[in-house]
Amino acid sequence: MRLIFDGTVRVDERSRACEPAAGEALVRITSAPIDCWDLRSADGPRVPGRFGVGVCEHAETRELVGRRVMIRPVISCGGCDLCLRGLREHCRDRQIMGEAPRDGCFQRWVCVPTENLIALPESLGDEACALAPLVARAIHAARRIRVDARPFVTIVGDDVQALICAQHMTRMNAAVRIVGQQRRRFELCERWGVRHRHADEVGRRGDQDIVLISSGVEDACELAVGLIRPRGRLVLLAPAIAGGQGKRLDPERIVEQEIEVVGVDQGPLDEALDLLARGQFETEALLERRLLIREGPIAYEMARAPASLQVVLDAA
């Protein structure tokens, strides 16, 4: 059984045969989170699912056989100039799980290069693993924007990615504030000691050192530019771009204010999994629901809802 996505979501009861090539492993998927990129419309039919957790059933690396693993979504060549410079996520010949020609993880079996597998600690459940891509982006964002000297940080958005970033940057000694529209999310901010304001109530004084845009707020880009100080840093997280909220920036305002714009997509999954295994993130409150692959159309509808948290698909 697998999901097919070409703008609409449908269930295909057939399982496509998967024969691993040289250097590849065969993974039996147990669960897979719906990532922001999985929600984008596709030009042609595809099996979506950038990220997945499962059991390695076959691999040339015998130590991985029988182990629970998580799949890195970007498959790089390892030999181009970008790969050799340490930018494998931006490989010139890269393939991405869930985008042609690679089938994604919303199916029972998947073949993937062995080097794209991360062995999981037994103590880390599938629920926590579902948040690892979001934690990885938060880690990457903090490094890209150099969170030091206690900067004033505003996160525009109240989706799961925004809440994960707030947890991470608060721990890094940034003065963090969430600006959102879902008042129920403010209860979580209270629990974590994160300041919060409703988007309709926030002043636009242009005094924030760093503003991150995630999703969940209307006119997020206009609001963000009004909050940031001259020569501040504006961060576009992957959810904002996938949801279309990163496409209405005013270039004239950015030039006049000399704002630095930073994009953030993939992050270090291995580090994210380590932090989750050590209990460094609140996870239980961030999971919406787990559904079966056969319930994929319902799961996609839930994941697109503005108030949705993390939705996970189970292959069983």
Residues 163 and 185 occupy one common structural domain: yes
Distance CA(230)–CA(256), nearest Å, equals 8
Number of H helices, E strands in the chain: 10, 17
Which residue, among 75, 123, 68, 66, has the nearest Cα to 97 in the 3D structure? Answer: 75
Identify whether 272 is part of a domain: no
Residues 8 and 127 occupy one common structural domain: yes
Residue 196: which residues within 8 A CB-CB, separation 6 or more?
177, 178, 179, 180, 185, 186, 189, 190
Could you tell me the residue range of the domain that residue 62 belongs to? 2-131+283-314
Question: Burial of 279 by CB count in 10 Å (0-12 exposed, 13-18 middle, 19+ buried)?
Answer: exposed
Q: How would you classify the pairing of strands 260-264 and 228-237?
A: parallel
Backbone dihedral angles phi then psi of residue 227, each to the nearest 5 degrees: -90, -25
How much is the pLDDT for 43? 65
Distance CA(248)–CA(242), nearest Å, equals 13
- Answer yes or no: are the C-beta atoms of 34 and 75 closer than 8 Å: no
**Tally of structural domains, the chain:** 2
How much is the pLDDT for 206? 92
CATH of the domain at 115: 3.90.180.10
Q: Using the structure block, give the residue that is written with the tokens 């991470």.
A: 168
CATH of the domain at 148: 3.40.50.720
Q: How far is residue 93 from each of residues 96, 111, 156, 267, 299, measured CA to CA in Å?
A: 10, 18, 34, 19, 32
- Answer yes or no: are the C-beta atoms of 59 and 67 closer than 8 Å: no
Identify whether 167 is part of a domain: yes
List the pLDDT tens digit at each of the 316 positions of the chain. 899 988 789 999 876 668 899 999 999 999 999 999 998 866 678 899 999 999 999 998 889 999 999 999 999 999 999 999 999 999 999 999 999 889 999 999 999 999 999 999 988 999 899 999 999 999 999 998 877 777 899 999 999 999 999 999 988 877 899 999 888 888 889 888 889 999 999 888 899 999 999 987 878 888 999 999 999 999 999 888 877 766 678 889 999 999 999 999 999 999 999 999 999 998 888 998 899 999 999 999 999 888 889 999 998 6
- How would you write 261-282 as a 3-class SS string? EEEECCCCHHHHHHHHHCCCCC
